Amino acid sequence: MNVVKRRRVLTGGLTLAAVAGAAAAAPRGDAAVAPKGVSAATPRGDDAPRQNTSAEHTPGLRAILHRLTTADGVPGALVETRNRHGSTVLTSGVANVKSHAPMRRDSRFRIGSMTKPFVATVVLQLVGEHRVALDAPVERYLPGVIRGHGNNGRIITVRQLLQHTSGVPDYLAHLTPQEVLEDPLAHHDTRDLVNIALAHPPTFEPGTGWRYSSTNYLLAGLLIERVTGHTYGEEIRRRVIAPLGLRETYVPGDAPTIPGPHPRGYARPGENAPLMDITAINPSVAGAAGSMISSGTDLNRFLNALVRGKLLRPAQLRQMMTTRPTGNPDGRAYGLGLESRPLPCGGLYWGHGGDIPGYGTVGGATTDGRQATVMVNLNPGGTEAQDADMKAAVQTALCEGHHH
């Protein structure tokens, strides 16, 4: 398994370059009948008023969803879109390869690195309360934690952690998927995971480059704990989950189960290996970098509240949305726990991706009130085509919302 794939297992699903313009190439308006196995567009949830997306545009999204669960080899997929007119859920494929139960519209799932925007939001709220300074060295809050990196521990700033410009190596480059899949219920101590990363030389001098590293967010979680006296999970519940009324979002700690209705999560350990059920996993292996559970409804509500200024003061939201290029040919740029990409229909969207054994998620939102979340129940073992189609689904959904 190559390093890129390995790094992707628990980190942002958007760390891979994927086909740019895939959304534009998706067929549109040519499938009057939904492909077999793709459920009709059905409004769900409790956000009134609700309305189906226009039949004229939905086939493009249906075709991509169908492709995910056929050509791309994913057991099941779900996309939930939301705009001024309400929410719509499309599903395809199965939630369980043994029973062939269909993917439920109200599914919860592990969101992997979609956890990062939640963590960054808490840190930026602390910045707004003058309890944390973005450009202060991490050493001020976590004395002695970044060891063995020369003077870097005293140079790396809080901003550099949130923006992946710290040069701290990614612990997931040194913890193989095989190790995780062999003992999925093992507890992982955050400090041990950080030390796995710090045993390796810095990727670059702090502030001189950009490279995605989940270690940054393990450190951000420790910083939240040190500053507030509470775990990152308690602060996320108090500051984000409770105020927004997210009823399907959890920070599970060590609990290996997913509360509520959910698809089974699968991994494909090798090219032609059979699917392995990895639904039960101790998410401490991902911690503040990727342990959370949520739903399409809740992720859309969170992203909408975040980009429209309901969670952060204007000064902190501006910092979060001040991006730097990542070198990805599709124009991806990374802010503080939030990334932007150009939309094929014009403008930018904001969001993140998340991979953790069993599940892959990508979510995006525009500042004018459109959101889309896509989830598949296979990871790792997906292909670059799967990544491209997940991104295409988000972009197509956001652009369809643009026509109304």
Catalytic site positions: 113
**Structure tokens, 222:** 């420790």
Label the pairing between strands 333-334 and 324-325. Answer: antiparallel
Contacts of 222 (CB under 8 A, 6+ apart): 142, 145, 190, 191, 194, 288
The residue type at 162: L
**Structure tokens, 317:** 């939201």
Contacts of 314 (CB under 8 A, 6+ apart): none
* Distance between CA atoms of residues 362 and 360, nearest Å: 7
Helices (H) and strands (E) in the chain, counts: 14, 12
Q: What is the DSSP string of 94-113?
A: BS-TTT-PBPPTT-EEE-GG
Contacts of 113 (CB under 8 A, 6+ apart): 10, 11, 12, 13, 214, 217, 289, 290, 352, 353, 354, 355, 356
What is the rounded end-to-end Cα distance, in angstroms, of the chain?
Answer: 44
Q: 333 phi and psi, to 5 degrees? A: -135, 145
Q: Are 371 and 363 in contact (CB under 8 A)?
A: yes
Measure Cα distances from 184 to 179, 260, 280 in Å. 8, 21, 7
263 membership: H or E segment, kind and range? none
Tally the residues of the chain. 404
**Structure tokens, 394:** 């988000």
